[in-house]
Structure formats: C-alpha cells, structure tokens
Amino acid sequence: MSETTNEDIDENKYEITEENMNENNYKYNINKDRFDENENSYEYLADNEGDFSKYLLDRMKQLEHRNSRLNEQYNQIESEKRYVENQKLKYEREVRKLQAEIDRLKSSPLIIGTVMDVLDNGKLMVRSSTGPQFMVSMSKYLEDEEIEPGTTVALNQQTFAVVDVVQSTEEPMVSAMEVIESQQVDYDQIGGLDEQIKEIIESVEYPLTKPESFARIGISAPKGILLAGPPGTGKTLLAKAVAHRTDASFIRVVGSELVQKYIGEGAKLVREVFEMARKKAPSIVFIDELDAIAAKRLNDTNGADREVQRTLMQLLAEMDGFDERGDVRIIAATNRSDVLDPAILRPGRFDRVITVPMPDVESRENILQIHTRNMAVSDNIDFKKLANLTEGASGADLSAIAMEAGMLAVRNDKGSVETDDFLKAVDKVMNSGNESIEIQPEGMFG
Ligand SMILES: Nc1ncnc2c1ncn2[C@@H]1O[C@H](COP(=O)(O)OP(=O)(O)OP(=O)(O)O)[C@@H](O)[C@H]1O
C-alpha cells in the first residue's frame, strides 16, 4: 500500500501552510517569524480560534472518514485472507488425495483367493484364483471373525499373506461360489408355486430338520433335486427359501461359470464346493444352469467339451460318494431339462425333478401382490386385471413391473402407486424389445 491515494493527496491540503489556509478560505493570522520545521507550519495566532476550530472539525471528519475506509479495507483483506487459507487447505487435501491415488496405482496388484480352512496355528489355507492352494498368514489388522472358510480375500502378490477381506456380492464376480450363511427369503415370498413348495419341503426340508423320521421309516431322501423351468420363474427363490427354513448355509455355483470363467478349474471347483458344503453343514448346494455342465455328450469332443465332461464327472463322483442322510442337500436348476445327459437323472443323482412352470393368471396376481406388499399402493388397484394383462410374464417380469410402477410414482412425486403407473409399467416391461403397444386404461379398471 505504498501508492499515494486520493485520501493522501486530500490530506495534504489540511496541513497548516499559508497556501492551504488561503485555498480553504480560512481567515488566519500567523506569525511568519515562527516557522516550525517539524510541524511544517507557522505558529498560528490566538485571534483566529473560530476558524481554526472549524478547520480542526473538518480535519477530524476527514480522518474519521479515512479511518472507516481503512477499516473496511482491513475487513475485506481479512476475509480475502480467510478465503485464501481455505483454498490452501482444499488444495492440500486434493494433493494428499492425488498422492494416495498415485501410491495406489503404483502398488502391485493383489491376488484374489478363497479361504479354505482356518488352521489351529493361526495360519490359513487359501486357494488363489490362479489355482494353487497356499498356507499363509494374515494381516494383524484383520479381525479373526471376518475370516472363515468361504471368505473371499485379497492376497499380497509376493507373500500371499491375506491383506484384506473382499465383501461378497450377490453375483459372484471374483469367486466361483457364493456362500450365504442365512437367507432372508421365505416361502410366503414365492407366488403361485404351492405344489412345488410342498415337494421341496418333503424332499429337502424334512431330511434336514427331521432326519430321524426318515431313519425310523427306513427310507432315504432324494439325493439331488432338479428344478426345471423357464428363466425367472422362482427356482433360485425356492432354493433360498428352503435354506432359510432349515438354517442351512446356501452355497451357489453357476454351471456356465464353472466351465467358462474358470477354464481348467471346473472339476477342482466342484470338489471344493462339496468340501465347503461339508464344512459348513447343514448346507444346501445350489447349482444354477446345470445344463452348462450336464448336457448330453456329443461324439466329437473338443477341448471345451472335455473340460465340461471332467466337471460333470467330478459332480457325479461327488454325488455318488455322498451320504444320503447327511446334512448337505443338493438342488440344481435348469431351463433346458431336455438337453440333460440321462446319467445325471439316474437314481441316486438328481432323481427328483420338480417342474417350475410359468405363472398362470392366478399366480401372476399373487406374485404382483407379493412384490407390492411393501409399497404404498393406491386402494383401487385391480390386481386381477393386471394379471390378465400380463399373459406370458415370468415372476421376474412381474417383479420388474412392480418396481417400474414404483419408480414412475417416485418420478412423479406421488404419494402412492396408481393404476396408470402400473399400466405404463406393464406396457414397458411386456413390450421391452418390441414396438410399444399403448394399453388403454378405459374400461380396464373400474
Ligand atoms: N414365483 C415367484 N414369486 C415371487 N417372485 C418371483 C417368482 N418368480 C420369480 N420371482 C422374482 O424374480 C426374481 C428372479 O427369480 P429367480 O432367480 O428365482 O428365477 P430363476 O427361475 O432362478 O431364474 P433363472 O433360471 O434365470 O436363474 C426373483 O428374485 C423374484 O423377485
């Protein structure tokens, strides 16, 4: 602030010099013989007091004005300072974040593995996603309770020590099997499959919950249950619900993943799935897309077919060596029961086939009601008529319709889901992929 401001220039005119006093029209009387070098002014004489007080008042006003201007400037600079300090903190944070990101990118990748066993000496047996099994130690920053057979973990590339736990996801992206300790699905969340539920209770639930009854009567429960039916009809739901009822661990593997994603590993994975099932018993092994590993054998077998066959042989071997009265149950699902190798359906293997059909009109109504149970739905929705409009829809489609109708209501900020939301949702889901056919609400709903 070394520049001369207007204020400074103005201020000069108040210095008590002859020139200034003249210019400001003050009457003055000064002793021209007494010039004070320090004050840069002549001594003034007492008879000019009136004018001089006026001059002082002006001068005071001027200084007050200047003072308030300087105060304003001070406040402004203070707030600029605070802003700059904030900016500095923000950029420092940003730098730290980028530094951490650089460190992360520079660090070597971790290997994904699955814990096979927790040993008494505190070490772990893990199978890395690249194949081999290792006995390793784990980071002391991990809680013991987090680690158990089946947990997906991240391994250090050099030492293979367990450094992190990978949270399991609904669809297994990093592990071949999905292990869920306790299921939340119950039979009342399954619409229109009463007969199938009854069968599954008899063939899977009772052998797990009342094994003594089977022993007393001297019969053995079916070893494997095959749920056959079109996609999205509730096969997985049935398996999950029975796992919930029996408090069994639910171990899910997907046939196509066994042979496509883990090439060369299929047979070994099957062995490990059953190993895990025994360890976690009571448990239910659910093999989805069984047809991917158990289709009829073709004559000319290429490498991929041989891989599928090895996987299937291992599955059959596991089933054959299985105790029927044990507390591990196997449920498989397929959309293509017509292509299955008959060997898989022989007694002692998947010898009980439960057909899961597409829902009829009554079931569709039931399923829609189940999926809207926890939604705020307007009172006048006619589910029967909605069921009539959804001929050919699977349970998964009906669930999508309920979800879509809910989304529409949210999008339009409504208090509850109304008939027109359902109609639009039906239209969208039923015609997805086709040209949209407008469904007229008139006459459909009263
Ligand atoms: N009968 C049903 N009752 C209630 N909901 C159902 C029913 N069938 C399917 N659904 C809904 O559709 C979703 C998918 O169903 P599910 O995974 O059980 O089908 P799936 O028969 O196993 O299909 P896929 O053969 O494609 O694996 C379920 O999560 C559920 O929301």
Is it the case that residue 80 has pLDDT exceeding 70?
yes
Phi-psi category of residue 25: left, alpha or beta, with phi > 0 → left and psi -120 to 50 → alpha: left
| pLDDT given at position 30 | 60
Taking the centre of ligand 1 as the mean of its atom positions, its distance from the CA of residue 186, in whole angstroms, is 13
Distance CA 439, CA 423 (A): 7
Taking the centre of ligand 1 as the mean of its atom positions, its distance from the CA of residue 364, in whole angstroms, is 12
Nearest CA to ligand 1 atom 23: 232
Average the pLDDT over 141-160 and give the result. 81
Taking the centre of ligand 1 as the mean of its atom positions, its distance from the CA of residue 183, in whole angstroms, is 15
> What's the pLDDT tens digit per position in 391-435?
999 999 999 999 999 999 998 888 889 999 999 999 988 887 554
> What's the pLDDT tens digit per position in 261-313?
666 677 888 888 888 888 888 889 999 999 888 887 655 555 567 778 888 88
Closest CA to 368 of 335, 420, 413, 405: 405
| pLDDT given at position 330 | 92
Average the pLDDT over 43-52 and give the result. 60
| pLDDT given at position 7 | 46
For ligand 1, pick from 194, 197, 237, 254 the residue to mutate: most ligand atoms within 8 Å of CB. Answer: 237
Asked, for residue 23, whether it belongs to a domain, the answer is yes
Indicate whether 333 and 392 sit together in one domain: no
Asked, for residue 85, whether it belongs to a domain, the answer is no
Indicate whether 261 and 344 sit together in one domain: yes
Distance CA 205, CA 211 (A): 10
Indicate whether 377 and 348 sit together in one domain: no
The maximal CA–CA distance of the chain, rounded, in angstroms, is 139
| pLDDT given at position 424 | 92
Indicate whether 258 and 366 sit together in one domain: no
Q: Which atom of ligand 1 is nearest to the CA of 335?
A: 25
Indicate whether 253 and 159 sit together in one domain: no
| pLDDT given at position 264 | 65
Asked, for residue 189, whether it belongs to a domain, the answer is yes
Per the annotation, binding residues for ATP are: 232-237, 371
Is the distance from CB of 333 to CB of 355 less than 8 angstroms?
no
Is the distance from CB of 291 to CB of 255 less than 8 angstroms?
yes
Q: Which atom of ligand 1 is nearest to the CA of 238?
A: 18
Indicate whether 277 and 366 sit together in one domain: no
Pocket of ligand 1 (CB under 6 A): 190-193, 231-237, 288, 333, 335, 367, 370, 395-396, 399
Taking the centre of ligand 1 as the mean of its atom positions, its distance from the CA of residue 56, in whole angstroms, is 94
Asked, for residue 367, whether it belongs to a domain, the answer is yes
By CB neighbour count within 10 A (0-12 exposed, 13-18 middle, 19+ buried), where does 73 fall?
Answer: exposed
Its ipTM equals 0.96
Q: Name every residue whose Cβ is closer than 8 Å to that of residue 363 and which is 6 or more positions away in sequence.
A: 191, 192, 193
Is the distance from CB of 51 to CB of 26 less than 8 angstroms?
yes
Indicate whether 264 and 310 sit together in one domain: yes
Indicate whether 346 and 369 sit together in one domain: no
Asked, for residue 153, whether it belongs to a domain, the answer is yes
Asked, for residue 212, whether it belongs to a domain, the answer is yes
Q: How many structural domains is the chain composed of?
A: 4
Q: What is the CATH number of the domain that holds 189?
A: 3.40.50.300
Nearest CA to ligand 1 atom 24: 231
3-state secondary structure of 118: strand
If you compute the radius of gyration of the chain from its CA atoms, what whole number of angstroms results? 41
Amino acid code (one letter) for 4:
T
Nearest CA to ligand 1 atom 25: 231
Whole domain around residue 343: which residue ranges? 178-355
Taking the centre of ligand 1 as the mean of its atom positions, its distance from the CA of residue 350, in whole angstroms, is 21
By CB neighbour count within 10 A (0-12 exposed, 13-18 middle, 19+ buried), where does 227 fall?
Answer: buried
Give the confidence band of 225 by pLDDT, cuts at 50, 70, 90. very high
Indicate whether 190 and 154 sit together in one domain: no
CA distances from 283 to 288, 309, 338, 354 (A): 16, 26, 28, 20
| pLDDT given at position 73 | 94
Q: Which atom of ligand 1 is nearest to the CA of 288?
A: 27
Asked, for residue 105, whether it belongs to a domain, the answer is no
Mean pLDDT of the chain: 80
Nearest CA to ligand 1 atom 12: 396
Nearest CA to ligand 1 atom 10: 395
